Chain A
Amino acid sequence: MKPNRSTDVADVAPTRRGSPPEKIVLSDIIVRFGTVTALDRFSASVHSGVTGLLGPNGAGKSTMIKTVLGLVHPDSGSIRVRGLDPHQERVRVRDMIGYMPEHDCLVSSMNPVSLVSYMARISGLPKKDSISRTHEMLDFVGIGEERYRDIGSYSTGMKQKVKLAQAIVHDPGIVFLDEPTNGLDPRGRDEMLALIRKLGETGKTILVSSHILHEIEQVSKHLILINRGRLVRQGSMEELIEGDRDHLLIKVRGDDDPINDLITLLRDRYSVISTRNEFGQMAIVLKGVDSTSSLFEITRSEAVQVRYIGPDRQTLEDLFIRTIEADPARIVADGPPSPGSRKVRKKMKRRPDHGH
């Protein structure tokens, strides 16, 4: 057993030795569903290891994954999966991807052994391999003797595991996990996250989507932050948490008028990145401050109380919350679909993953 050997079959393909470090590259992707723009000039790249795709509900996470798979055709933009176009090289690209869909998709009248081995064979495994590999993967995800029971009788937690098993049974180099912890209890979540971490150690390229920051933090080193179909930020966890080094955060307290005056003053001298009211104090992020002493001068002249001056050290949580706050409309997307046109809603119902 050589656990660390590259597991991607396509890697062995002669045409692509020395593949670029980016495994998946999306450039300027636009996807529209009727009047809804699900991806809006979205660009991102995914490297090997676990990457979190984080964004509120309706941000476009699932759409992004489906677009890379070639299940959704972009209106414009280009996608490369290890240098290949998923629409032109569908067989090769799909053979190197494993996909765990967000919603229920398992055939309820089959048991996991027959379903997963069936899927293995559709992905091109020979019959004998498909059976042994199926048992191996069901062992891996932790489905025991109940593997011979029809999936119809399974709990959500077990279904999620079987969904994961079918996504990795053909040993793909790239794995898309769309909200893998959806509907799981805390224990189920922990188990699922542990599985993802283990998978991540195999050198596969794994993209995990979630709207829960806490989960992404636990499994991934890279992050793609998406909102309203746009890329908000992407990079390694540390970079994102640290924020930009030349950003300076000041927090002041006072009446509205003097604070507004202060902001106007600051705008004259520096570039103001953001202003935000945090529990009665105003948090202002600045760029281009060379010396803090002149900043002190300015703030002192105004009738405001300075509570903090220092580097803008935001936690990932801050980043996430700010992202969503910047877009109050999108929080509603958690509930029933916002009042879109009838046509759109009807269309969504027909989608297999929107039918619930």
Chain B
Amino acid sequence: MGIDPIEYRPWQGERAGLVRRLWTITWTVFRSKLRSKAVLILLVLGVLLVHAIPIMIDVMTPHDDVSSDLMFGEEEVYLEPGNSTVIIDGELFLEGEPLVTGDFALNGSVSYFGYITIRGTVVGAGTLTGNGESVVIDNLTVEGKVKVNGTIRVYGYLYGNGTLLGDGTVTGNGTIHEEHDLIRREERFGGYMTNGLFTLFTMILAAIVVSDAISSDLADSSFVLYFSRPLRTIDYLAGKFLGLLMVMSLFCLLPPIIYVIAMTGTMSGDDYGEAGRVLGATFASGLFTAVFFLPLGLLISSMTKRRAYAGVGTFMSLFVLSIVSGIFAIFDANWLAANPFVMLLHAYQRFFGITMAGGVTPELHTLVVASLIVVPIIIVYTRVHRLEVGK
């Protein structure tokens, strides 16, 4: 090459199809991200902290299968006061050692096989059957039957129209409490996917990765370079999105897959069917995590020319969302649905086919998740599209 001006020469060759051109955008985004120090540091740090250490420890710990419990930890059940009366018309099996700190009304039956503590009032026309050692109840009003093989200790008022059967002792003194309500809450601890650090790192990574995706084109007015070529708004966005998704997948998708494969390879049992299901659900969960924060980030990136604003804005909006949801959830449990952490966790639980904990219904969850993905995409599309066409 030389600096001397040369003659213009034509180019002869075949042009690539549109898909190849889209891929060019995707690959360029991906490569430029991997050249950024901040992204690299975060990736290495995150993979080490969130993934590498659990992978090493868990693989070396003897295990005979790869199950949902591995990913989500053992289940524990809580019943807590809520603000609407829980009336059990069917049967409720409590298999753990539930601690009921509220009251509940009983029209069906409750069977328990462990130790049950109810720090509230049970009002029931149904049956409470227990095989455990004892039942501890603050107040007990029985329209139906209470059958206990252990001890029933009533610290409050004991009132009954039904039958009270027992091999143990019934003791009681006190009054009927004001009626409270119950929420059934399940919590799992210690699972690979329930690691809060995972979500936190994902949020930070997404904020950094997505920050200049659109804002730098805004700052440089470089949309016109793309749109004077045969690309539509949707091509431009899809190309960028896929590039970002590839970066996110390095953290959110690849390591969990490696984890499940490594755990399957080292398990002592032979339930490969279950392990396969877990692998599928893990793939879905990882991909979902990689996608989840990008639309919101793209939206914020399309609103400012400064990448720093876009990055901080993305992280802060997620942070504020979880705080707001936490505050309002005190008054209405449905607000939990607005917490990004909860949204992700519920999504995992749905992919793994585990019952959803907390007061959030699947419908509400779907609605919230869809709106956090679809609404930003629509807004970004219209914003960029308006820049593409001159008016």
Contacts and interface: CB of A to CB of B under 8 A. Distances in A.
A352 B221 contact: yes
A63 interface: yes
Contacts of A129: 11, 13
Given A72-B390, A94-B228, A125-B15, A352 B223 contact: yes
Count class of interface residues, chain A: 35 or more
Count class of interface residues, chain B: 35 or more
A244 interface: no
A296 interface: no
B57 interface: no
B216 A109 contact: yes
A109 B212 CA distance: 11
B389 A72 contact: yes
Interface string A335-356: 0000000000001001111010
Interface string A65-105: 01001011100000000000000001100110101010111
Nearest to B235: A122
Contacts of A171: 10-11
A126 B228 CA distance: 19
A350 B387 contact: yes
Contacts of A202: 8, 10
A288 interface: no
B1 A135 contact: yes
A95 B391 contact: no
Nearest to A200: B8
A97 B228 CA distance: 8
B59 to A, nearest CB: 40
B224 A125 contact: no
Contacts of B217: 107
B321 to A, nearest CB: 28
Nearest to A138: B1
B16 A5 contact: no
Interface of B: 1-11, 13-18, 20-21, 24-25, 28, 212, 216-217, 219-232, 386-391
Interface of A: 1-3, 5, 7, 9, 33, 63, 66, 69, 71-73, 90-91, 94-95, 97, 99, 101, 103-109, 118-119, 121-126, 129, 133, 135-136, 138-140, 142, 144-145, 166, 168, 170-171, 194-195, 198-199, 201-202, 347, 350-353, 355
Given A125-B13, A195-B5, 18 more contacts: A3-B10, A5-B10, A69-B228, A71-B227, A71-B390, A95-B229, A99-B224, A99-B228, A101-B228, A105-B221, A106-B222, A107-B225, A118-B24, A125-B11, A126-B13, A139-B6, A350-B386, A352-B222
